[in-house]
Each structure stands twice: as structure tokens, then as C-alpha cells.
Amino acid sequence: MKELIKRLVETYGPSGSEDQIRKAILEEVRPYVDEARVDPLGNLIAVKHAAKGNGGKKIMLAGHMDEIGVMVTHIDEKGFLRFGGIGGISPQILLGERVVFADGTVGIVGVERLDDPKDLRFDKLFIDIGAKDKAQAEKAVGIGWSAGYYRTFDDLGDRLVSKAMDDRIGCAVMIQAAKELKKTPNEVYFVFTVQEEVGLRGARTSAFAVDPDIGIAIDVTRTGDTPKGLPMAVELGGGAAIKVKDSSLVAHPKVKDLMAEVARTDKIPYQFEVLEAGGTDAGAIHLTKAGVPSGTISIPTRYIHTPSEVVDYGDVQACVRLLKGIVGRPIGL
Amino acid sequence: MVTPAKTVELFRRLSEAPGPSGQEGEVRAIIRPEVEKLVDEVRTDTLGDLIAHRKGRGKRVMIAAHMDEVALMVSHIEKEGLLRFRKVGGIDDRVLLTKTVYVGKDRLPGVIGAKPIHLQDPKERGQVIRLDNLFIDIGAKSQEEAEKLVKVGEYAVFTTSFERFGGGLVKGKALDDRAGCMVLLETLRSLRETALKLDVYGVFTVQEEVGTRGAAVTAYDIAPDIGFVLEGTVCSDTPGTDPQGQSTVIGAGPAISIMDAGTIADRRMVDFLVATADENGIPHQFRRATSGGNDGARIHLAREGAPTASISVPCRYIHSPVSVCSLDDLQNAARLLEAALKKIAEGGLKL
């Protein structure tokens, strides 16, 4: 599974520019599903049918393909690019980073001279793509072009690190579950969504189309296990995290209980998660049409929204087993 | 480019009509007879959106321009007969002081007053007078007298009259988004005699300024394949703004959005609009700001989603009692939309 994770996290795909990552995911998931289509906003909807025709539940699984990034708004006379943020990206973390555009063009994030470090805001930053002047820069990139962090995957043994673990790790969990799921009594929709980082947008339209009985997002959550970090009862290596609540969703009690029951039955390590700030695609799914009972399986992740998001491989495998265990059984909800 | 006097006159009427979010009736009453001549069917929905349907086979295209404008609402009447108020939509407190307004449907004249400079201490002079310390003076001597004239919940709008000035510019209130309404009307007018393999819904929306509300219900209702938004957008090309901070430049052509707080413009649509503008020799620019939002936020997320793009007329001093835009930009926006629709009808937009 590490090869799959490496491929997904290293692929380019800021919100609104998911073409390359969608292509990669489609290649990976296609052999394990019965059909796949792309909707008007670019969501990839892959379906695995119930083994015995109708009868099971229609379950929508959502993992988002997009990652945070930056978008070019201006190119100056000397060829420097100004930009705005896409999703929850911070100027402090961008400083000194390298970013990459869809065509592979690499840029360095530099900063104007600051009188006070507190003045560090997006409008003080610029991207240097090595152009000598405006004309040369305009040959390489255009206004409205997006870039993501330029970082590779590293295998630290039990722990894996890369940019875009949020939420390629969720996509990887879904693909792996699809692969291992030989038969299911349910109609399982593996939806790889767009534009989660800018407001759960892809999940909203895809959930409207799928119209599921149950919604499950697979996404990262933060941990409380780093030095003097914000307290939170989720730790790396503690198993799959079953969400109770975040700012977008109070997990439906029956969905949450089902997850915990499957984890206990299948002896999968798990932990409950209460996230103070942040949301996932389940926030959009559960409010679709007349409402959809929804929950989230979270992969505990350190340093979220930085170029170095860290997950525990054991947790990732626990999430795969949990997901497979849930969708692979008849569900009475 | 010459803008016909008739067009400018319609723009004047639209700009001067009061249309605060939630009370767009007067604007709708001006648009309706104009648009009835241009499409097959016109109706008003539950919220007050005006939907002009130009029937045809082919892709269903929704084009939205909002009728409402930022305004004020009376919230309380003081015993001295002065009116306290709240804002409807985003208005900077700094632009309110000493402005004249019309209150209520009968257009009762009012003045937003405050303490004169003579009576302010030096500290007060250096501060912005906040909304809570402002009031509308309607000339009433007492609460009783004021209550006979005005009720809590009535709107107040700016009184700015519309004028042409400079080289093809106009100034007036509510150019955001009466400029967009004009672009939509002008586009439908130019296409009137043209057969199009396209099902077009021109939608004049309500309540955009308070959260793109009219667009939410109309987009659900229409279920478009493709969305366009016509806007009056922020223009900051005046001294003191670095080039990279200039979201748009007046007179440089319609602005094509790349991203705002509510929408990441569909890149295929952006590239299509740029190519269409280039092919037709229409000047254009990108909207080089990523903040703000418009009806596109709702349209692209309606039902199963619809690729959506925004074409905007740059407006200086937006969300204030007076804004400025270029008639050329307005006409070029209409030319761009017209060319884009023709091309879509011919299958020229690959989605």
C-alpha cells in the first residue's frame, strides 16, 4: 500500500485543479469497481455494486482529492508572481517552501523585507520561478494558475510523511478497501471529491447526485500528542479515529456506534475523536436533500496543512480494515 | 465605442431606482418590460427573482445578474425623532457620514448626521464614527412625528443621481450590479434575431448582497448545465495601490474571475472565455483578487453542480453611495458574453 500512498501524495492537485490526481486515482481504483464516472464539477464517482442486486444500503464514501495550494494573481515586471491562498494555507509555513505548478514548473516562495515578523501576510510574499522578467515568466505560467507544495513522500518506517496526506491518505484507504473488498451486500459509492479544502464543495454536489442512505467521509484529523500542542485525545498509532464531532458535523449516533461495533468485532484498534475546529465532506453530505446519517473515519495526522503531514502506517491499515468491515456487512440502521 | 443614448438612459433609470436586498420591486419593474421584448417567457419566482427564458434546444445556460444593492434599514426610532439603522449588505462605516438617503417606499428625504467637527475633541476627530453613533435625520421633531412617517424595518437608499462624465465613464449608485443587469439585457438584445441552439435563462436575482440568496433558489429551479455571473466588481486602480493589489483596471475590458471566496472558476470556462475574447478582439482582464464572492457560489453548487464563470464590469468605489464604471467595459462584457453563447451553441465549449 505504501507504493499507492507515495503515488497519490506526490501527484499534483490543488482545489479546482484535480485533473492529474483524478487520473491517477481512476487508474488505481478502476480494476476494483464496476463503474466510474466524472461529474460536472470533477468529482470521481466509482461504484461497486451489491453482490445480490438490491437490498443493501447505498453507502457514499468520500475522500477528497484536492490539496491546499496557491493561485497566481499577478506577474510583475521582474517576473515575480503574487498569489492568493487556496484553502487553509498559511503564509508562515509557505515562506521558503518550493511550490509546483501543473506542468512541473517549480517556484520558490520569497518575502518582502518585513519590519516585524507579525507583518507576514500573503501580500508580502511572492513566488520566484527563476524568470528574468515578466515576458519570460508569462511564458511559463499565467494568472489563475495554481501551485501546490513541492515535496516528496518519505517512508520513516512506521510513520509516513509527505505533503497532501490530507487527504490522499483517505483516498488511498478507500482504494485499498475497494481492492480488498471482494463482495459486499451494499451499493458502495467510492466518491473522490474536489474542492473540499475551500468549503466541502464537491461533496455537496456529488451527494446530491448519489442520494445515499449513509455517508462516510474518510479524512485526516489532528492529534494531541506533540510537545505542548493543543490537547486532544487522538494520538498517532492509537488506531483508526472514529469521529464524534467537529465543526461541520455531529456524527450520527448510529453510524458512530456501528463503526465502533465493527472495530470491536474485528479487533481493530480505534479511538474516538472530538475535533474542535475543522470539518470534512461528511458535513456537506449529511445535510443533502432530506438528510443523510453520516460519520467520518479519520486518519490521525500530525502537522496538517504543512508540507510534512505525518501518519502512522498501522493507523492507516486499521482505517482500511474498519472501512472494509463496515461496508462489507449488511447494515441495519 | 459609442454607447447609444437609449442604453445610457436605461442604465440611468436602473441605477437611480431603489433596490435594497429584499425589496427589488422597482428595479424589477424597469427590467421586466425591457426583457419581455427579448425572450419567450418571463416570470417572477417566490423570492422575487425575475427569470427570462429564451427557449431553445441544447445546453441549459443560466446567466445571473443581481438586482439588489447595498442599503440601510431603520432599526429604531429615537425619542428626538432620529432614526437608528443597520446595514443591509457590506458597507464601510466610513462612507456613511453626511450622506443623503431616501427612506421608505415614498422616498422620504433623510440625512445621515453626526456631531459637527467644531464640537468634536481632537481624539474624536481621529476616529471613524461607527454605525452605532450614526442616525438618519428626516426632519422630524419627535418620535411621534417620525413614527407617522417611517416604520421600523423600512429601507433607506442613497440618493446619488446618475451622470456621464469623463471619457465614457458613468457615476451613480448601485452600479454593483445594475451594470451586470445592463450586460444581461444588452446581450439578450443583440441575440434577439439570432437563432441559437441553446436554452438560455437570464436571471435577475434578488438578495445577492446578503448572501447570494436569490441565486440559490433559481439555480436549484433551473438546474443549469453551465452558469455565468455578470457582476460589478472591485476596481482598485487608483493612486496608493501597488500593481499587484489592483484587482481590476477601469476601461481595460471585462474582468474574468479566477477565484473568489465562494468559487474557484472552472478553468475550462476561464480558458474558453479568454480564447473567445482573443478571437473576437475583445479587450479583457483577469479579476486579480481572490476575496469577495457572487452568485456563482450558489450556481456552481446547485444540485449536481454546474461549471460556472464570472464576467465583471470593474466599478471603482464599490459598495459606497457612488461608484464609477466605463460604458466601454459594459459593452465589451456584453460582446464577450454574446460571442461565448454563440460558441457554446455551436459546441465550442468542451466540458
B11 burial type by CB count under 10 A (0-12 exposed, 13-18 middle, 19+ buried): buried
For chain B, list the domains and their CATH numbers.
5-69+173-345 (3.40.630.10), 74-158 (2.40.30.40)
pTM, two decimal places: 0.94
B215 and A CB contact within 8 Å: no
Percent of chain B residues topping a pLDDT of 90: 86
| Residues of B identified as active-site | 208
User: What pLDDT score does B128 carry?
Assistant: 86
Contacts of A41 in chain B (CB under 8 A): 300-301, 305, 307
- Total count of residues recorded for chain A: 333
What is d(CA B173, CA B164) in angstroms, rounded to the nearest whole number?
A: 13
Q: Which fold has domain A69-149?
A: Elongation Factor Tu (Ef-tu); domain 3 (2.40.30)
Cα–Cα distance, A313 to A316 (Å, whole number): 5
> Which amino acid makes up residue B149?
L
DSSP annotation of A251 reads -
Output the pLDDT for position A54.
Answer: 66
Rounded to whole angstroms, the Cα distance separating A243 from B229 reads 38
**Interface-testing mutation among B304, B308, B310, B351, with chain A (most A C-beta atoms within 10 A):** B304
Q: Is A190 exposed, middle or buried (0-12, 13-18, 19+ CB in 10 A)?
A: buried
B258 touches chain A (CB under 8 A): yes
DSSP annotation of A202 reads H
Tell if the CB–CB gap between A71 and B290 is shorter than 8 Å.
yes
Out of B243, B264, B305, closest to residue A40 by CB: B305
Predicted confidence at residue A327, as pLDDT, reads: 97
Indicate yes or no: CB of B264 within 8 angstroms of CB of A73. no
β-strands B71-77, B226-235 pairing: unpaired
pLDDT tens, residue by residue, B18-36: 999 999 999 999 999 999 9
Which has the closest alpha carbon to A242: A308, A176, A326, A171? A326
Q: Please report the pLDDT score of residue A15 as a whole number.
A: 98
Distance (Å, rounded) from C-alpha A244 to C-alpha A296?
8
When CB atoms are compared, the residue of A16, A74, A205 closest to B244 is A74
Which residues of B are less than 8 Å from A199 in CB distance? Answer: 262
Query: A21 CB contacts (<8 Å, ≥6 apart)?
Result: A8, A11, A12, A13, A65, A66, A168
Q: Chain B contact for A288, CB < 8 A? A: no
**Per-residue pLDDT tens digits of chain A, which is 333 residues long:** 999 999 999 999 999 999 999 999 999 999 999 999 999 999 999 999 999 866 799 999 999 999 999 999 999 999 999 999 999 999 999 999 999 999 999 999 999 999 998 999 999 999 999 999 999 999 999 999 999 999 999 999 999 999 999 999 999 999 999 999 999 999 999 999 999 999 999 999 999 999 999 999 999 999 999 999 999 999 999 999 999 999 999 999 999 999 999 999 999 999 999 999 999 999 999 999 999 999 999 999 999 999 999 999 999 999 999 999 999 999 988
Task: Identify all chain A residues contacting B278, using CB atoms and an 8 Å cutoff.
Answer: none
B300 neighbors B307 (Cβ within 8 angstroms): yes
The rounded distance, in Å, linking the Cα atoms of A304 and A163 is: 9
**What's the fold here for domain A2-67+163-327?**
Aminopeptidase (3.40.630)
* CB contact A55 to B (< 8 Å): no
DSSP readout, A93-151? HHTT-EEEETTS-EEEEEE---SSGGG--GGGEEEE-S-SSHHHHHHH--TT-EEEE--
Could you give the dihedral angle defined by the CA atoms of residues A210, A211, A213 and A217, in that order, rounded to the nearest 10 degrees? 60
Contact list in A for residue B270 (CB cut-off 8 A) is: 144
Partner B, chain A 8-27, Cβ-Cβ below 8 Å: 15-17
Best residue in A194, A201, A210, A288 to probe B by mutation, most B CBs within 10 Å?
A: A201
What integer pLDDT is reported at residue A52 of this predicted model?
A: 81
Which of B264, B305, B306 lies nearest to residue A16, judging by beta carbons?
Answer: B264
Q: What is the DSSP string of A204-224?
A: HHHHHHH--SEEEEEEEE--S
Q: Which residue of B has its CA nearest to A74?
A: B244
- Secondary structure letter of residue A175 according to DSSP: H
B152 touches chain A (CB under 8 A): no
- Choose the closest CB to A143 out of B286, B300, B301: B286
Does any CB of chain B come closer than 8 Å to the CB of residue A204?
yes
Residue B268, sorted as left (phi over 0), alpha (psi -120 to 50) or beta, turns out to be alpha
Cβ pairs A/B, distance under 8 A: 72
Question: A74 contacts in B (CB within 8 Å)?
Answer: 243-244, 288
pLDDT at B117: 80
Distance CA(B273)–CA(A211), nearest Å, equals 33
Interface of A with B in 213-232 (CB under 8 A): none
Q: Helix, strand or coil for residue A253?
A: helix
- Model ipTM value: 0.92
Taking CB atoms and an 8 Å cutoff, what residues of chain B touch A143?
Answer: 258, 286, 288
Residues of A annotated catalytic, as ranges? 196
Min Cα distance B117 → chain A (Å) is: 34
Nearby residues of A41 by Cβ (< 8 Å), 6 or more positions away: A194, A195, A201, A202, A205, A206, B300, B301, B305, B307
Listed by start position, the domains of chain A span: 2-67+163-327, 69-149
Paired residues of A332 in beta bridges:
none
Q: Which of A17, A73, A205 shows the shortest C-beta gap to B301? A: A205
Closest chain B C-alpha to A224 CA, distance in angstroms: 30
The low-confidence residues of chain B, meaning pLDDT below 70, are none
User: What is the rounded distance in angstroms from the CA atom of residue A47 to the CA atom of residue A30?
Assistant: 9
How far apart (Å, rounded) are the C-alpha atoms in residues B172 and B175? 7
- B 85-144 residues inside an 8 A Cβ radius of A: none
3-state secondary structure chain B: CCCCHHHHHHHHHHHHCCCECCCCHHHHHHHHHHHHCCCCEEEECCCCCEEEEECCCCCEEEEEEECCECEEEEEEECCCCCEEEEEECCCCHHHCCCCEEEECCCCEEEEEECCCHHHCCHHHHCCCCCHHHCEEECCCCCHHHHHHHCCCCCEEEECCCCEEECCCEEEECCHHHHHHHHHHHHHHHHCCCCCCCCEEEEEEECCCCCCCHHHHHHHHHHCCCEEEEEEEEEECCCCCCCHHHCCCCCCCCCEEECECCCCECCHHHHHHHHHHHHHCCCCCEEECCCCCCCCHHHHCCCCCCCCEEEEEEEEECCCCCCEEEEHHHHHHHHHHHHHHHHHHHCCCCCC
Interface of A with B in 62-121 (CB under 8 A): 71, 73-74, 76, 82, 84-86
A84–B304 C-beta distance less than 8 A: no
The shortest CB-CB distance from A39 to any of B264, B265, B304 is to B304
Amino acid letter, A54: N
Instruction: From chain A, pick out residues whose CB is under 8 angstroms from the CB of B265.
Output: 16, 144
* pLDDT score for B10: 98
The set of residues, in sequence order, having a beta carbon less than 8 Å from that of B147 and lying 6+ positions away, is B77
CB-closest option in B244, B259, B307 to A40: B307
Domains A2-67+163-327 and A69-149 share a fold: no
